[in-house]
A and B are shown apart, each in its own frame.
Chain A
Amino acid sequence: MYVYDEFDRAFLQERVVEFRDQVERRLAGELNEEEFKPLRLMNGVYLQLHAYMLRVCIPYGTLSARQLRALAAVARKYDRGYGHFTTRQNIQFNWIKLAELPDAMADLAEVVIHGIQTSGNCIRNTTTDPWAGAAADEVEDPRLYAEVIRQWSTLHPEFTYLPRKFKIAITAAKHDRAAIRVHDVGLRLHKRDGKTGFEVMVGGGLGRSPYIGKTIRDFLPEEDLLSYLEAILRTYNLGGRRDNIYKARIKIQVHEMGAEAFAQKVEAEWAEIRDGALKLDKAALDAIRDRFLNPALEDLEDAPASLATALADPDFARWHANSVAPHKAKGHAIVTLSLKPVGAPPGDATADQMDAIADLADAYAYGEIRVAHEQNLTLPYVRQKDLPALWAKLKAIGVATPNVGLISDIIACPGLDYCSLANARSIPVAQKLTERFADDARIADIGRLHLNISGCINACGHHHVGHIGILGVEKKDEEFFQITLGGKGNSKARIGELIGPAVSEGEVVDVVERLVETYLDLRTSPAETFIAAVQRLGTDPFKERAYAPR
Chain B
Amino acid sequence: MTSPLQRKLKIAGPTVVTANRLADGAVVWLSPAGGWTDSIGAAAVGSTSEDVLRLLDIAHGDENTAVGAYPAPVRIGADGTPEPANLRERIRVSGPTVALPAGASAAA
The residues of A with any CB-CB pair to B shorter than 8 Å are 26-27, 29, 32-33, 47-52, 76, 78-82, 95-99, 344-345, 348-353, 416-418, 420-421, 425, 427-428, 431, 474, 477-479
Contact = CB atoms under 8 A, between A and B. Distances in A.
Nearest to B107: A80
Contacts of A350: 101-104
Given A33-B63, A81-B104, A50 B95 contact: yes
B6 interface: no
Closest 10 CB pairs of A and B: A417-B96, A97-B24, A51-B25, A350-B103, A52-B25, A81-B104, A29-B64, A81-B105, A82-B104, A477-B86
A79 B88 contact: no
A82 B100 contact: yes
Contacts of A416: 87-88, 91
Contact of B101 (A78, A344, A428): A344
A420 B22 CA distance: 15
B5 interface: no
B57 to A, nearest CB: 16
B22 A26 contact: yes
Instruction: Report whether over half of chain A's contact residues are helix, strand or loop; otherwise say mixed.
Output: mixed
16 contacts: A27-B22, A27-B23, A29-B64, A32-B63, A47-B68, A50-B95, A52-B24, A52-B25, A79-B108, A81-B105, A82-B103, A97-B23, A97-B108, A98-B24, A417-B96, A431-B98
Interface in B1-35: 1-2, 20, 22-27
Interface string B30-48: 0000000000000000000
Given A82-B101, A98-B22, 9 more contacts: A27-B64, A47-B20, A52-B25, A80-B104, A97-B23, A97-B25, A98-B23, A425-B97, A474-B87
A381 to B, nearest CB: 27
B1 to A, nearest CB: 7
A48 B25 contact: yes
Interface string B56-100: 000000011001100000000000000001111001100111101
Contacts of A50: 25-27, 92, 95-96
A223 B64 CA distance: 49
Contact of A421 (B1, B27, B101, B108): B1
Contacts of B103: 81-82, 350-353
Contacts of B87: 416, 425, 474, 477-479
A155 B68 CA distance: 27
B104 A418 contact: no
A504 B68 CA distance: 30
Nearest to B92: A49
Given A416-B87, A416-B91, A421-B1, A99 B101 contact: no
A528 B24 CA distance: 52
Contact of A33 (B67, B97, B102, B108): B67
Chain B interface, DSSP helix/strand/loop, else mixed? loop
Contacts of A427: 96, 98
B72 to A, nearest CB: 12
Given A49-B88, A80-B108, A477-B87, A418 B25 contact: no
A359 to B, nearest CB: 16
B86 to A, nearest CB: 5
Contacts of A49: 27, 88, 91-92
A101 to B, nearest CB: 10
A80 B100 contact: yes
A418 B105 CA distance: 17
Contacts of B68: 33, 47, 420
A460 to B, nearest CB: 15
Contacts of A345: 98, 101
A328 B26 CA distance: 49
A351 B98 CA distance: 18
Nearest to B98: A427
B36 to A, nearest CB: 15
A99 B63 contact: no
B98 to A, nearest CB: 5
B61 to A, nearest CB: 12
A96 B86 CA distance: 25
A80 B92 contact: no
A350 B98 CA distance: 15
Contacts of A47: 20, 25, 67-68
Contacts of B63: 32-33
A450 to B, nearest CB: 22
